[in-house]
Amino acid sequence: MATIAFKMFLKPGNKQVYKQRHDEIWPDLRELLKKEGISNYYIFLDEDTNTLFALQDQAFDQSSQSLGANKIMQKWWDFMADIMRVNPDNSPVAVPLEQVFFME
């Protein structure tokens, strides 16, 4: 199991919409993520910079970005594209973060 962290970028003024969409995450998307070994998925918002900080455990050697070939994920990306900074395929711009400290 690997724990990975990355940041994404919310467009200003979209905190409530982003939160609501995730509060109502589609059951088929939740099932897909779990099936692909993603668990303990946290997303935090730095409101000063509109930066989203994500942390997730992955059972397999892949990132959630590798799920891009899945139609459910593509539909979610399209759904979220209006409120986030995205790539040409509507996947969120995501920057991996390096772990520099861990305390058990």
Domain architecture of the chain: domains with CATH? 2-97 (3.30.70.100)
pLDDT in tens, 78-103: 999 999 999 999 999 999 999 999 99
**pLDDT at residue 51 above 90?**
yes
Of 22, 44, 49, 96, which is the active-site residue? 22
Residue-level pLDDT at 68: 85
Q: Mark residue 37 as left, alpha or beta (left: phi above 0; alpha: psi -120 to 50; beta: remaining).
A: left
| Type of residue found at 31 | E
* CA 33 from centroid of its chain's CA atoms: 11
The question of whether 22 is a catalytic residue gets the answer yes
pLDDT in tens, 14-24: 999 999 999 99
With a threshold of 0.85, does the pTM exceed it? yes
